[in-house]
Amino acid sequence: MTDILDELHWRGLIAESTDEQALRAELAAGPITYYCGFDPTAPSLHIGNLVQLLAMSRFQQAGNTPLALVGGATGLIGDPKMTGERTLNDRDTVAGWVERIRRQIEPLLDFEGTYAARMVNNLDWTAELSAIDFLRDVGKHFRVGRMIAKESVSARLNSEQGISFAEFSYQILQGMDFLELYRRYGCRMQTGGHDQWGNLTSGVDLVHRVERDSVHAVATPLITKADGTKFGKTEAGTVWLDPTMTSPYAFYQFWVNADDRDVVSYLKVFSFRDRDQIAELENEVAQRPAARAAQRALAEDVTAMVHGPTETAKAVAASRALFGMGALEELEADTLRAALDEAGAARLPVGDELPTYVELLSEAGVVDSRSAARRALTDGGAYINNRRLPAETAPDARPERDELLHGRWLVLRRGKRTVGGVELV
């Protein structure tokens, strides 16, 4: 494929590039090797990193060879943040995070075949490098004026905190990565987020200065949300790829809850559905928004890529069961726990008797007060474990102990959409 750039433009995945016409010519002439870097500044990647990983996968599917760099060296320093100096993590911690992130990347690229991906670590070429060699062989090619013009560096220089020499030098380390990969593997292109543009071009400039060759950089846009809130954040915090940090159910629900105004652009970026399939889902959004067909398709696609088909099936089953379209009793304990954590679950101590339905509805948060709980009972709009409570149910009535799911949970619902849970301990 030589139309990969047209495909990426259609998907809204190219914010900037160094010389697109020259890159098109190289792609047309034959396969190129390219790379993208991921720093282990946390124990997991997050969904913002998926933009880069899936862009890498698209280039690979178009017949090019990816290098996935996990920065065991750059992760010890960290890219300068606008808000202030990073806390440096110790070497053992960073090394552990490198391995965790490598395992997250591996399922998203193909490591076999003609265009097999390769995993690389920049600690391999920096660990034995002396400070003198670093300054003489690499640092001499960087101009301070250009380095301080970088937005995050400039902002920090003009702040009360300032910026350390360590973080200031980060862009030299990243530039050196491109030079080293050019020498070792013939790497011709680096991809990254638009907020990394200064770092991307530092590598391009370094290769040009040292090797007298023109290489390429392509930046993807930062993903935004129509409502103005930050993409990849929920009330619970960052949406991580690690299932112990964001459960597969919570991960699935993040995509299911995508705004109608965002979902089509998300399908272009985060799914491999073709233009006709996305156009059909876009029509669904316009004609039947309540069905949320596009959101469900997006959620299933992305969850399956990151967590696999088994966990995706569990998340789908839990999502359906929570709203009365499946059997709660069939959900595994961990899946039910994750679903109720996401929906909102209260923990209540229990003695000889279980709490009343009124108490449970109120504590689960599906009504605002106990008087509202009594009205929900009277109106026939209250459910426990998807069982509708008859309108004549007494306010002091209680569930039976054998109704507890896995011996400890109850799912409460008011109407079709308001769900909560209680864990009895």
Residues making up the annotated binding site are 35, 170, 174, 233
- d(CA 95, CA 76) in angstroms, rounded, equals 9
User: Tens digits of per-residue pLDDT, 388-398?
Assistant: 999 888 888 99
pLDDT higher than 80, residue 224: yes
Confidence grade of residue 54 (pLDDT, cut at 50, 70, 90) = very high
What's the chain's average pLDDT? 92
| pLDDT (average), residues 27-32 | 92
- d(CA 201, CA 17) in angstroms, rounded, equals 9
Judged by phi (left if over 0) then psi (alpha if -120 to 50, else beta), residue 12 lies in: left
Residues making up the annotated binding site for L-tyrosine are 35, 170, 174
pLDDT higher than 90, residue 107: yes
pLDDT higher than 90, residue 270: yes
pLDDT higher than 60, residue 2: no
- Amino acid 37: pLDDT: 97
| pLDDT (average), residues 156-171 | 86
In DSSP terms, 192 is beta-bridged to 219
Query: The pTM is what?
Result: 0.90
Q: Please state which architecture CATH assigns to domain 233-326.
A: Orthogonal Bundle (1.10)
| pLDDT (average), residues 221-229 | 90
| pLDDT (average), residues 154-158 | 83
Going from N- to C-terminal start, the domains of the chain cover: 4-220, 233-326, 346-424
- d(CA 195, CA 151) in angstroms, rounded, equals 9
| pLDDT (average), residues 156-163 | 83
Q: Give the β-pairing of 409-414 and 382-384.
A: antiparallel
pLDDT higher than 80, residue 30: yes
- CATH of segment(s) 4-220: 3.40.50.620
Residues making up the annotated binding site for ATP are 233
pLDDT higher than 50, residue 1: no
| pLDDT (average), residues 285-293 | 95
Please name the amino acid found at residue 330. E
| pLDDT (average), residues 176-194 | 97
Pick the CATH number of 346-424 from 3.90.1150.10, 3.40.630.10, 3.10.290.10, 3.40.50.10490: 3.10.290.10
